[in-house]
Structure 1
Amino acid sequence: MRPTGRLHLGNYVGALENWVRLQDAGWTNYLMVADWHMLTTGFEDTSQLQDHILDMVLDWLAAGLDPARSVMFVQSAVKEHAELHLLLSMLVSKARLERIPTLKEQVRDLGLEEATISYGHLGYSVLQAADILLYRATHVPVGEDQVPHVELTRELARRFNFTYCQDRAPVFVEPDVLLTDFARLRGLDGNRMSKSVGNTILLAEEPEAIVARVKSAYTDPKKLRANDPGRPEPDPADGHPGCVVYEYHRKFNSAGAASVAERCRKGELACVPDKRELAQILTDALAPIRERRERWARDLDAVHDVIRDGNQRAREIATVTLEAARAAMGLSARAGTWA
């Protein structure tokens, strides 16, 4: 995950919640602060990067990730990522990288020109493949928009093993995708959630702020009076994308969401009390996260220890994998020579 500072509900629903569930189910998780990836679009101003790393790890811990069961580490602290990225970059064409859908989305959203994006930005999906393959991951928990990256990772693993491992065991595992159950939560305005746009609710938001933010949530523009029938679901007739308040109910109030939708359609539920109810539901759901974050924030030395220990544990695995890759490619000097 790219360190952009404090996390929001979209980060929780799209990734964190799934990570905690996998951890509690007994999986061994390697969770990476992708600070090098941050440079692909934010290289000009890195003044807040270290603070953002700390804020993000605080939110990971607040969400319920346990450092005893999940390895949390910083990408740039494990130099093997850079070398494997270089080696894998020899196995993929520029044209293949240009076909990655999320690259095209980023170019469009950031107002960039494809012809002028940086070499690092073009190749970030290869670095992402190195991030996965170094730990010989069998599964990668992602949202649907990240599936093309995992497919490229599988292609690179397959090509490396075919090219260099004819006389030895394969170095890399072809990982499978683990899709999140609720892959994406829209922002309060109905668009893609983004802190820069201001349509988010932070993971450890204070109750008063939650109430204020939910008041601005997009509903049905045709429901002008309290007793007008509403449209909780999308309506292609006029491009109505669906009520955001209802979407949040489906995620955080699954038992009551059907009733909310029915009362809305019948004109029995006004938007103001609906938003008030949702704000309380979110406040209650986020209270344990907020409390854990406050507890960890009182002992930042302990958070630094979590990261330091995670870096070491990640490095131990990455070193072994990279040495196997170097040996397969003939890059390891023979004993008794110049090594």
Structure 2
Amino acid sequence: MAIERVLSGMRPTGNLHLGHYNGVLKNWIKLQHEHECLFFVADWHALTTHYDTPEIIEESVWEMVIDWLAAGVDPANATIFIQSRVPEHAELHTLLSMITPLSWLERVPTYKDQQEKLSSKDLSTYGFLGYPLLQSADILIYKATQVPVGEDQIPHIEFTREIARRFNHIYGKEKGFEEKAEAAIKKLGSKRSALYEEMRNAYQQSGDEEALDAARSLIEEQQGMSMGDKERLLGYLEGGGKMILLEPEYKLTPASKMPGLDGQKMSKSYNNTISLREPADVVAKKIKTMPTDPARVRRTDPGDPAKCPVWQLHEIYSNTSTQEWVQAGCKSASIGCIECKGPVIDGVLAELKPIQERAAQYAEDPTLVKNIVAEGCEKARKLARETMRDVRDAMGLNYS
């Protein structure tokens, strides 16, 4: 079975909240036990929209890493690093920009969406236009096979696949490629060579995707084979040249069910969040002042949980019997809104308590956090350097 390498990042633009925990971090924590994972602080990406307030980024970088660790991201199971500490990202971004048609960047759906949403900022910058390509460089430099994204980010992964395909098409025409690929097939041994040829024919002649996947797995399993020969076999398999950059797949992230305090999606821009390190009394106060069903003007007025933002939190934090108590009590006006909010407060605080205890330990030992990141940066940079060596070779930039 081929090794799956997962890559994901987060922009450091403020305190992490329960929306981040339920929408991203819980998924990361699960993935780190299933695949090789790299998680990075996307500080250069933050500059695309916060270029005029870099102090927000600077303050948020280390706090965000503490939140990741406190939530359960484990440096023993995942590589944690900072984007700007691996300058190869910028080098690959620059080299890819030489072959990227301008129209490809302008058609990325989030480009116009973000400009409209952040209309108060001047986003007519080269950095903002090019951020999908920087995102592609982030992924391609680690030869990531899976990128966890929400539905709105799928076009970014498709864009990255197009960039990898274009790069491989332009620069994968290695001199004597077919002869080198045929020589690599012989290195598989007679039985595996025959199997490879059979699966290659099945894919190229009838588009058999299962045969393609099986052949890829066969190549990845070869222990004593060089990376160059593996890439030649992968390229030959698909009928192209040497596969220098790997086309990633998107891994759809389960949608976060965490609503904000007003029932909308939890977001800093809506000012409806509960931060991961918010004090217990502040959390309780925020939930106690949440809006409820407008029909319940007086304590004796019956309500409908479906029209109340608090009910959405009960769906996450309350067990079945509590939910039944809420439904019956709200509709009959036998319980008041403050009473109804009690179990939600308890549930949120119970979830935050262990996170906050771990965060306090990391906050007291900043050297430990910086050492974790330094080690992660070194691991990431080693992988990035390997890819850049291949890229420079392919583009004729390794002058001797």
Equivalent positions of 1:161-200 (< 5 A) are 161-166=168-173, 167=177, 168=232, 169-183=242-256, 185-200=258-273
CA distance in 2, matches of 1:260, 1:332: 70
Structure 1 Cα separation of the partners of residues 351 and 159 of structure 2: 37
Take 2:392 and 2:368, find their aligned partners in 1: how far apart are those partners? 36
Alignment of 1:13 onto 2:22: yes
Identity score, percent: 44
2:127, 2:322 → 1: CA distance? Answer: 44
1:326 match: 392
Name the residue aligned to 1:336: none
Structure 1 partner of 2:354: 288
Counterpart Cα distance in 2 of 1:161 and 1:228: 67
Q: Once the 2 structures are TM-superposed, how far is the Cα of residue 248 of structure 1 from its aligned partner?
A: 2.5
Length, aligned pairs only: 324
In 2, the alpha carbon distance for the partners of 1:150 and 1:243 equals 37
Could you state the TM-score of these two structures normalised by the residue count of structure 1? 0.87
**What secondary structure sits across from 1:3 in the alignment?**
coil
Output the amino acid matched with 1:29: C
- Counterpart of 1:47 in 2: which secondary structure? helix
1:62 is matched by which residue type in structure 2? A
Q: Does 1:92 align with 2:100?
A: yes
Q: Check conservation: 2:149, 2:252, Cα contact below 8 A.
A: yes
CA contact (8 A) 2:12 2:42 kept: yes
Residue matched to 2:125? 118
Residues 6-45 of structure 1 aligned to structure 2 (within 5 Å)? 6-23=15-32, 25-45=33-53
Equivalent residue, structure 2, for 1:155 = 162
- Once structures 1 and 2 are overlaid, which stretch shifts more, 257-266 or 76-85? 257-266
Q: State how far apart, in whole Å, the 1-side matches of 2:320 and 2:92 are.
A: 47
Greater displacement, 44-53 / 276-285: 44-53
CA, structure 1 residues 229+311, in 2 after alignment: closer, same or farther (shift >3 Å)?
A: same
Q: In the TM superposition, what is the alpha-carbon distance from 1:196 to its structure 2 partner?
A: 5.0
Match of 1:245 among 304, 310, 320: 310
* 1:53-80 CA-partner distances (Å, limit 9, x unpaired): 1100000000011111111111011001
Query: Residues 232-311 of structure 1: matches in 2 within 5 Å?
Result: 232-233=305-306, 243-253=308-318, 255=320, 259=324, 262-263=327-328, 266-267=331-332, 270-311=336-377
The 8 Å contact of residues 304 and 331 in structure 2, kept in 1 or not, is answered as: no
Cα distance in 1 between the residues matched to 2:103 and 2:304? 44
Cα distance 1:247–1:173, how it changes in 2: closer, same or farther (>3 A)?
farther
Aligned residue runs from structure 1 range 195-234, under 5 A: 195-226=268-299, 228-233=301-306
1:256 & 1:328 partners in 2: Cα distance? 63
Answer with 102-111 or 275-284: which moved more: 102-111
Pairing 1:130–2:137 present: yes
Offset, 1:260: 6.2
Equivalent-residue separation in structure 1 for 2:314 and 2:282 (angstroms): 18
Residues 45 and 163 from structure 1, CA distance in 2 versus in 1: closer, same or farther, beyond 3 angstroms? same
Amino acid at match of 1:322: M
Q: Which amino acid in 2 is paired with 1:22?
A: L
SS of structure 2 residue aligned to 1:32 = strand
Please identify runs of 4+ aligned residues in structure 1 that moved more than 6 A: none
Q: Quick one: distance in 1 between partners of 2:161 and 2:328?
A: 47
> 1:113/1:74 Cα in 2 relative to 1: closer, same or farther (>3 Å)?
closer
Paired residues of 1:141 and 1:177 also in contact (CA < 8 A) = yes
- C-alpha deviation, 1:298, in angstroms: 1.1
Matched AA of 2:380: A
After superposition, the Cα gap between the structure-2 partners of 1:228 and 1:303, relative to the gap in structure 1 and judged at 3 Å, is same
Structure 1 Cα separation of the partners of residues 73 and 146 of structure 2: 18
Distance across 1 between alignment mates of 2:357 and 2:161: 40
1:239 maps to what in 2? none
Q: Which moved more, 1:176-185 or 1:294-303?
A: 176-185
Aligned with 2:90: secondary structure?
helix
User: Contact between 2:161 and 2:248, CA under 8 Å: does it hold in 1?
Assistant: yes
Task: Look up the SS of the partner of 1:30 in the other structure.
Answer: strand
Structure 1 position 226, deviation (Å): 4.4
Counterpart of 2:382 in structure 1 is 316
Going from structure 1 to structure 2, the CA distance change for 1:98 and 1:193 (only over 3 Å counts) comes to farther
Say whether the 8 Å CA contact 1:246–1:260 is kept in structure 2.
no
Structure 2 distance, partners of 1:266, 1:294, is 42
Which deviates the most, 273-282 or 247-256?
Answer: 247-256
Distance of 1:176 and 1:261 partners within structure 2: 43
CA distance in 2, matches of 1:256, 1:308: 48
5+ unaligned residues in a row in structure 2: which ranges?
Answer: 1-9, 178-231, 233-241
Cα–Cα, structure 1 residues 229 and 141, in superposed 2: closer, same or farther, change >3 Å? farther
